[in-house]
Structure 1
């Protein structure tokens, strides 16, 4: 069983409490299957799963899972498992050529965001969420799944047209990471098909494969006994089962089917290390793969208990590794461990670290020292207790929200059950398993797992990074010797420091409420305190155990002059790095063990605030954290220096990446090198300009005054209970009485028509980026029409630039109209492509624009956008995050929040002429920055 999925995915299924008791204590007991899921198999071998789930309402998630991926390709088919996935959208029995995507868009399903698919080594998954505003849509969705399963056309002309799209997808993935991976991966999985069957395949084969090679893969592996149909949503289970039979009973298996077997891994006989560098790499990454062994999914309660032990082990070890970054000169940017593998049916312990300013040797040495310390001395009772609390708190939240879990994570777990046999007991059982099993797990059992990770077993070690740096890199032989030496060093035992049991020893005195009013239409209560702070409460029942907090205070980094730009822009991050009150970040994690509560401060360009979330029972903890962040930022020079060293190390090689060079240059031109504009790609020396005392001073100026501070809280709120807490932790905040205000610091986007051409990079790949901007009076209707225009253009980008021309794999235009700090709009077009297609794509997009400006959009495309928006709106109306945004826009921008209730009418009122006028208004050719990244010219 995948241990990561176990906690965050496996426990999401049941909507009923089964009353599991402690009577089930035998570790040999078989894990049951969730009885709220109907699982069956047709006569032809097709498996199906059906579950009624009413979140979101009037929507169903459909999946077709095919137990076949690139690992099954013949030598002449490399890349064709993935190519088959593409062909599913290019003609089938009931949907000719490109009709499928267009048809589904008319139902309100967005290509890419909703409708999608992916191919991996061992499986191919088709994703189809279907709105049920029209109940007949369920049958339409089943028709699509049926065509995918057995009705693809594979017309020669469509195969040839799609070659270019897939090659463009391959092109997008090329670069330093891809080149390095292709050198490491074959040696990492040597002797196995996993080493030679990357899902993207080979360009040489994609360009030239015979039509029959693609059709052969589909006929061989797309067969009912290797497929599952999964249906989870607001449906009638009996009707859904009838539809499964209606649409899939007729599918037939081949007369002589090829056997589907798992690709075995060849056991590594000796340790090996490899060092790979690249001129465009941006950091040093070291990975150690301990012995990978066959691993079966959990089937008994004892298996399940062992999975929990693995979770506890990696939780404690990774927390130790994380703590090593909390020093003045961190040994690495990141280090982490886990049990996983690319190969299905196998699992191994893997440790990875990203080097900091001290280089890859130090990063590896310190990571190995921590792993070795755990192996030799084990963990402490306090560590184990915190880890248990953390796991149980996460499981409890999932259990509390069991009746309001969205369909998507549920169906993902069922897919894993089909593909790998992952068990699905249901959340009620799992929560009880955790409650019953966690207390009995001992340090000795953790240590038994720890010592089972043999450092003397054959290892695979890889080091990748820039080819030019100030570090002397080892050879593969030297890396292996270093690793084995450091693995056997005697570690230093460390005594853990005790921390306080609670966040606050003395609670603040509650503030005074000066006004309270209700908005019946919005369902909100607005509370004003004597210190000038406002709190808007919106109780909801969308989730049983979720409370979300957002806030803003007018005025951000734009209040500061050029010398303070980096300091102001990073002040909130710096404070969060150092902790609050008497607690460092490490101490804070310890005192919060077992609580579901978190808060983050923010200082943006024109505003500042805090955001947070909590479970219902931990809402006071969230508010206490907020109070501490707003009143008691902690100064820790060592942690500040450590943060600065890490930031400098993380950007040290950033400009080796061609895309970073291009984006950095583009935005310097866009902002006319204005020193008040934040740099997109900071340089290491930029962080030297940051002064700690000044950062704390700015932080307090932006976040230390409650006057005009607006807090918004949405979720399962008991108003009577929470108002006294708000009075204590928000009403008591210091307030000067000085009004808050936005500041326009005069930073503006470049005017006129500017062309920028950058040649950087060795791969034959280009990037077109255009920015269209101007100052314009803000109004909400214009912003809505601007979004509609962008979405219509994105439909045309997919239809014409991708499907008809084959010039791109993905591309888009996005942006909008802003009110602050000055009223303006900006729209950004991005088209990754090949150098040979730059001019053609620029001309094609210009033609799309001219068409809309002259004649307006096609009515069918406007209708698709409207339908998609309205379907999303119906779902969002029952999401806490949506209402958090609506209320914030009301208080932040002065928007009319009640317009949310007329959204459908306003969307339906948009006309072709509206879009035409908006296109002419925004694409007026006044201010256009056209950037193109091309590869380096060959010498």
Structure 2
């Protein structure tokens, strides 16, 4: 007995020593240069070479909408807009103009965001131009202290802000949010300070109010500059010092108050209903004190909480796939919130309103199951494997990680004080600590986060379902119910391999090198072709894809729905002797994502993996196409869910859904295969036929082309490809797709759709037709879309103040016929539809008559060059590009010609020609308007 006590004492002492060892600060990334100017501005500088010749810049302002006075509601966000509309060095719209000429795109490379507590401005800037490099820091300095805030510009911007509020705020989701947030924020200051503000204030505020907000809160002691990129650190530090040192903090500057969300007693319940919400959900939030991560012991706790979230997510995903599961999906998780709080969140989507009570009970049961029985050893071990995979990947890619990835950690250090560690520390720490995280530690988190105090439970649903949904009193009872018959979670062991027998395969019968693009083509004995492009863009990534002509086009309308859902149905069952759930467990700790698809004209495969797990991914691919596992019960549950979701969406059609369906139906002349799916369509799915179609589509790989891009050596992976791709079935059938004769409506079409409660409209203008699909036409169609994007942003947004953001998209297809589409869309006030459409068509007419302005062409050329510089350094780009070129029978070397020759051929005349060619007689105008009263 004394010996046992002695051992317990030793354990207790060693635990204390262990805890003391970790009670030290988390080391920050030593490569980051951190400094503070005399005026209080903080800066973070990190040299990082990915992508080459680029840097990410952020100006972080520790001030957001929560600091607004009653008379300033919405002005933090308004000020963010104004910083793009005139500063000391860049009057009016010269800032955006200058950056576009330098090849940067507004939105992608140049943007900003305003939240409750902070405002963040972002730039991605090329570093191979000395002038642009210097000017980038001047831009940040201008934003911080030198905005002109011209009254005329403020008045012009009011319309744009109001259109942003119309676009984002006048819908069912926003109406729900306006009721939900005061509940979540417990009527704290956050409740009355939504960043978009109040419409009446935005329309009428005097300019001196926004000037006051700027002077009060945009000051160096509340700012940080973050710079990460391919540059010289000393030069960046010198520029920050030079541009920001002279900025002063006002002597009478107000104190930066930290607002909190007060607790509420027990569990409060609410019901929030809206006419346009198609799906009913249950949401529950337990608000908990914020836990800061400052010591290594805290960091170890963070890892444990990450494992907790992973395990609970996996459980719910597994539960949703069970026959007769009462919900379509469920979410639980522990994460940071606002106002000094963390939150444990629960969300569940029932199959329909009738099933809401059962769905809520099932989620409460899962929480109670966790509290009573905890997690299992197997769950924890799999979660540790998954966690370590991510850490190892980050470590292996530490010299190939993009600058943008580092930025958020530095921003959060400034705003929250959290550490910015590097990949080496995270990897070494996980290696030392992960194994030691016990089941008891994880189960202690359950008790910490599943609380009945300071908790709110909310039903969000459709007014049409009010009688079917539990009221607030009923909801409180459901949440409080404790099921006495709960049993522990049963964790099924998985011992079966993915493949019980490895295929013999066939050898390479021909090999061809295409040196211009670094591709090697292999053809195997079964006829399958593989294009290999080794790259050094990532150290630990391989992406792959494959396709063959055929698809659903080969099947009758009677079989259409079975064919369309065939690959999804098969994916529900798993492979070989492994169910989908067992397969997930078997793959724990491996990076092997594989999916199959059957499209209209092709069937194919996609996936990603690492060099270490390539064989596992190939085995999984082989199993999916040769040994799919049938599971009728799971499939029936999936189909039932799909039918219920469609039924719910039809009961409460959103304006956006009605509009989108109308556009598609009219454009495609009500073709059977372009009409919206209906609940009864699910009944037409025959599981036997779907599986038969799937097997037919993947019965012959002699006409498949595979593409592999990433970190590999061709000779080393050849034996694996010979086994798993060379071993795929082959019948040498001659097959292609069938032209179904689906075409868009010709001539001029106009259609108004009346749906929705709010005073908002949506406009979609579409040009379409046939074309030659030549390289010149492809380039000029895209250039036309880019020119229109620049010009319509200028005319509709900046000059007319009538839209928030116009969207211009070009698209084209070679097969079955060469067709193009040019779509211009925007949201606006119903009263402004005709005026804005006229402006749009007038601008197109000007380009058709005179060509675009020279400066707009220069911007497009610069933007395209900068964009393609980055694209060709991405594995994902090459994977999709190569497969598309093979599928369409196009020249693989097109990308080099585009980058080195074709972009420079974009001209005033070429865009003018494109406007006359592509903005021609086939024109459709669709307008969504509010319901007539």
TM-score of the two chains, using structure 1 as the length reference: 0.95
Question: What's the C-alpha RMSD, in Å, of the aligned pairs?
Answer: 1.6
Deviations 1:671-696 (A, max 9, x none): 11111x243x4222221111111111
How far residue 271 of structure 1 moved from its aligned partner, in angstroms, is: 1.9
Please give the alpha-carbon distance, in whole angstroms, between the structure 1 residues aligned to 2:252 and 2:485: 59
Q: Is structure 2 residue 432 aligned with structure 1 residue 425?
A: no
Q: Which residue of 2 aligns with 1:199?
A: 195
Of 589, 592, 597, 1:594 maps to 589
Q: Which residue of 2 aligns with 1:212?
A: 208
Report the secondary structure of 2:66's partner residue: helix
Of 490, 496, 513, 2:491 maps to 496
Of 236, 242, 256, 1:240 maps to 236
Q: Which residue of 1 aligns with 2:845?
A: 850
Please give the alpha-carbon distance, in whole angstroms, between the structure 2 residues aligned to 1:748 and 1:647: 28
Of 7, 26, 34, 1:31 maps to 26
How far residue 191 of structure 1 moved from its aligned partner, in angstroms, is: 3.5
Report the secondary structure of 1:391's partner residue: helix
Of 460, 464, 468, 1:464 maps to 460
Report the secondary structure of 1:136's partner residue: helix
CA distance 1:788–1:161, shift in 2 (3 Å): same
CA distance 1:725–1:25, shift in 2 (3 Å): farther
Report the secondary structure of 1:651's partner residue: helix
How far residue 187 of structure 1 moved from its aligned partner, in angstroms, is: 2.0
Q: Which residue of 1 aligns with 2:713?
A: 718
**Aligned ranges for residues 613-762 of structure 1 at < 5 Å?**
613-655=608-650, 656-675=653-672, 677-679=673-675, 681-762=676-757
Contact 1:782 1:817 in 2 (8 A): no
Q: Which residue of 1 aligns with 2:412?
A: 416
Contact 2:496 2:578 in 1 (8 A): no
Please give the alpha-carbon distance, in whole angstroms, between the structure 2 residues aligned to 1:564 and 1:98: 56
Q: Is structure 2 residue 172 aligned with structure 1 residue 155?
A: no
Q: Is structure 2 residue 265 aligned with structure 1 residue 294?
A: no
Please give the alpha-carbon distance, in whole angstroms, between the structure 2 residues aligned to 1:454 and 1:883: 46
Contact 2:802 2:828 in 1 (8 A): yes
Please give the alpha-carbon distance, in whole angstroms, between the structure 2 residues aligned to 1:565 and 1:172: 37
Please give the alpha-carbon distance, in whole angstroms, between the structure 2 residues aligned to 1:775 and 1:563: 29
Of 241, 247, 252, 2:248 maps to 252
Of 786, 806, 811, 1:811 maps to 806
Q: Which residue of 2 aligns with 1:3?
A: none
Q: Is structure 2 residue 396 aligned with structure 1 residue 400?
A: yes
How far residue 132 of structure 1 moved from its aligned partner, in angstroms, is: 2.2
Q: Which residue of 1 aligns with 2:7?
A: none
Please give the alpha-carbon distance, in whole angstroms, between the structure 1 residues aligned to 2:574 and 2:762: 41
Contact 1:60 1:235 in 2 (8 A): yes
**Structure 2: which 5+ residue stretches go unaligned?**
1-16
Please give the alpha-carbon distance, in whole angstroms, between the structure 2 residues aligned to 1:313 and 1:672: 51
Please give the alpha-carbon distance, in whole angstroms, between the structure 2 residues aligned to 1:698 and 1:752: 38
How far residue 877 of structure 1 moved from its aligned partner, in angstroms, is: 2.0
Please give the alpha-carbon distance, in whole angstroms, between the structure 2 residues aligned to 1:145 and 1:80: 20
CA distance 1:151–1:246, shift in 2 (3 Å): same
Deviates more, 1:795-804 or 1:551-560: 551-560
How far residue 24 of structure 1 moved from its aligned partner, in angstroms, is: 11
Q: Is structure 2 residue 365 aligned with structure 1 residue 369?
A: yes
How far residue 380 of structure 1 moved from its aligned partner, in angstroms, is: 0.9
How far residue 291 of structure 1 moved from its aligned partner, in angstroms, is: 3.2
How far residue 654 of structure 1 moved from its aligned partner, in angstroms, is: 2.4
Of 52, 55, 60, 1:60 maps to 55
Of 99, 102, 116, 1:104 maps to 99
Contact 2:275 2:462 in 1 (8 A): yes
Q: Which residue of 1 aligns with 2:437?
A: 441
How far residue 25 of structure 1 moved from its aligned partner, in angstroms, is: 8.4
How far residue 452 of structure 1 moved from its aligned partner, in angstroms, is: 2.1
CA distance 1:24–1:404, shift in 2 (3 Å): farther
Of 601, 611, 636, 2:606 maps to 611
How far residue 745 of structure 1 moved from its aligned partner, in angstroms, is: 0.9
CA distance 1:867–1:23, shift in 2 (3 Å): farther
How far residue 890 of structure 1 moved from its aligned partner, in angstroms, is: 2.6
Report the secondary structure of 2:606's partner residue: strand
Please give the alpha-carbon distance, in whole angstroms, between the structure 2 residues aligned to 1:495 and 1:308: 24
Report the secondary structure of 2:399's partner residue: helix
Q: Is structure 2 residue 265 aligned with structure 1 residue 269?
A: yes
How far residue 319 of structure 1 moved from its aligned partner, in angstroms, is: 0.7
Report the secondary structure of 2:59's partner residue: strand
Report the secondary structure of 1:128's partner residue: strand
Deviations 1:583-624 (A, max 9, x none): 222111100000011001111111111100011100111111
Q: Is structure 2 residue 781 aligned with structure 1 residue 786?
A: yes
Report the secondary structure of 2:395's partner residue: helix
Deviations 1:876-904 (A, max 9, x none): 22211122233223311122222322223
**Aligned ranges for residues 479-558 of structure 1 at < 5 Å?**
479-486=475-482, 489-500=484-495, 502-558=497-553
Contact 1:552 1:710 in 2 (8 A): yes
Please give the alpha-carbon distance, in whole angstroms, between the structure 2 residues aligned to 1:783 and 1:576: 36
Contact 1:566 1:678 in 2 (8 A): no
